Structures are given as C-alpha cells and as structure tokens.
Amino acid sequence: MNVLFATAHKMLPENRGGMEQNTHVLARGLTARGYRVASFSGLAGVGRIGHWARLQMRLGRDVGVDRSLGYPSFRAYEPADEMEAVLKRVRPDIVCVQGGHDHMRLCDTALQCGFRVVMYYHSDHVQPLSAVQQDAVKAGRLHFAANSGFTASLAADRGPAVIRPVVLPNAYKVNDHDPRYVTFINPSPHKGVDIARAVAAARPDMKFLFVRTHAYDKLERQNIAAPNIDVIGPVSDMRTVYRQSKLVLAPSQCREAWGRIATEAHISGIPVLASDQGGLPEAVGEGGICLAHEASLADWCAALDEIVADEGRYTAYQQKALRAAARPEVQPGIIMDAFEAVLRRGNA
C-alpha cells in the first residue's frame, strides 16, 4: 500500500513537535512493514533542507523533495496550493491528513481528486465537515482517527479510531538515572510557564530544569531566570534531559490532545505532575498526579512534595510510572497494528 502523510505544519527537521515526531515514527514503522510512504508538509525554507527545496523550486519544481528522513518528503510554502501536484506525483492508495491550519483544504483536495483519506486528529481543533467530506463519509472514502480518547470525544459522531502517539522506548529510556531536577519542557504561556516559575520560586531548595524547544531571546531568558532554574535546549536527544529528571512538571493551560512527555518520562520511571487539561490525565494515568489547571500555587507545591519529598513515596511513584509505561495502549507494536487496521479499512 502507498501512503501519503499530509499536513500544513512543517515536518522534521524544521519542526520537532509531537505530531511531527509521531508521523516520522509511523512512517518508518510502515516502511519496515512493507508500505511505500511519503510525507507532504509545510516549508520554513531555512538550513540545508530549505536551501535544497528553494533550489528545486527555482529549477521549476512545484515543491521541494528530499529523503533526509529515509522516505520522500515533499515540502512547500503553501501546501494546500500544491496538494494536487503532490498527489499526482505520489499516487497514494490512501492519504493520512493531519493537523495544521489548512488540513480541511488538504482533505477536500485529496477527496476531490478521487483519493481515499484518513483524517487523523492531533488537537482539539475539530471543525465541522465540509460538504465534500460529508459525501465522502457516506461513500466510505473518508475515515477518522484521533490521538487520544479525549480528542476522539470531540469528534465522537465520526467514530474515530484512537491511535495514540508511538513513543519508542529505546529513544527515551535511561539506565544511568541521576535524578536531580524537577523538569519543565517548553516554557511557554500555554504550557504553564507562570505556574512552573512560581513553583520554582516557592521551592528554592529544589533544582529546576527548563527545557526550551526553540531558540529564545534575551527577554524570555530574563523572565525564566532564577538561581534554582537551569535552562537548556533545544535538545535533540531527550535522554540527556530524562537522565537528570526526578519529576516532569506539565501544568498546561491549553487542552492538550495527549501528553507525549508523560509517556516519554514514564519509560524511565519518572513520575509526572500535570494539569487536568485535555488528554493529560489519560496520558499520565497512575504515573503521577493531575491537578485542576486553575489550582492554587499551594496545591501545586503540595502535590510536588507528595511525590518527591519522601524517598519512600517517591519510589512508589516511580513504580507507578513504570506500570503506566507498560500499559497495552501505549505499546508501539499494538499502536502500529491499530493504525494499519485504520489504513486497511480506509482503503477497502
């Protein structure tokens, strides 16, 4: 089967978000199972990938294409405008359309060109179906998947299959664990940076590690700076982070579709203290504590102490984290099997 993953987001290595990482793991997994896979995404136009794409476009190509990820990766500044051209080149048996501001246009174009589509929801931005999509559902040419039970609940009338993110244990597991930090990843307002900063200020005896996911400017550095906060990143190998992490703090103020960092941390027995936003409680499970996202600073500090202040309790939470990582629903092989079933159903 020939599969095309399509999104208006930028793909690896230009963007390293959870959806992009999951797409890459799915693509490599499908390739290993005998599928032909390609991706189509947005383009930032910087670095080696951007230079190569711009060169191809100057030579008259509709889009840039490279094999930096191990499979054909088509990239364009405006993917929705170039979707038809990419479809003609790839001729996929099925298109997996994912998040991005133009995902509805990508889906409509694929359907109007006669292709079958799986729409894979990765966020809480579930929009009403277009007339083209409604007709395709009736004809059995459009199927749905979602990356968590929470996300699926937002499109319950469409019956999406729950395909949770694939997190490969070998990419995150640490054997030489030296837990020294309370770790906060992606210090931005929607991820709860104000809460994390306040918790750090309230616990000056603890060391905090803030992990940036992109370059940051002087003002941002000043807003984060504190004697007990170390700032690193961006980081390509998250094992360097989890090796030093005693607990992962995730006080998100947005409706997280899943909570990939919880799954990553659990693999090494690292508990998670998170908000109750979106799919985070589902991702954390028994491997930590979830508080109401509007909880007080005192509540956040008390929950932090509950997990890390007593060595015996901390050991118990480590065991809970490991059990959360062993749940069938987060095992890569089981997830890949479920995703294959969606593709086969969509291509039937």
Domains defined along the chain, listed by start:
2-163 (3.40.50.2000), 169-328 (3.40.50.2000)
302 exposure class (CB count in 10 Å sphere: 0-12, 13-18, 19+): middle
DSSP string across 216-227: --HHHHHHH-BT
The type of residue at 312 is G
Paired with 208 in beta bridges are 182, 229
pTM, full prediction:
0.92
Angle formed by the axes of helices 79-90 and 103-112, nearest 10° = 40
| Per-residue pLDDT tens listing for the chain (348 residues) | 999 999 999 999 988 888 999 999 999 999 999 999 999 999 998 889 888 988 898 888 889 999 999 999 999 999 999 999 999 999 999 999 997 678 999 999 999 999 999 999 999 989 999 999 999 999 999 999 999 999 999 999 999 999 999 999 999 999 899 999 999 999 989 999 999 999 999 999 999 999 988 766 554 665 677 999 999 988 889 999 999 999 999 999 999 999 999 999 999 999 999 999 999 999 999 999 999 999 999 999 999 999 999 999 999 999 999 999 999 999 999 999 999 999 999 887
Angle formed by the axes of helices 332-346 and 18-32, nearest 10° = 80
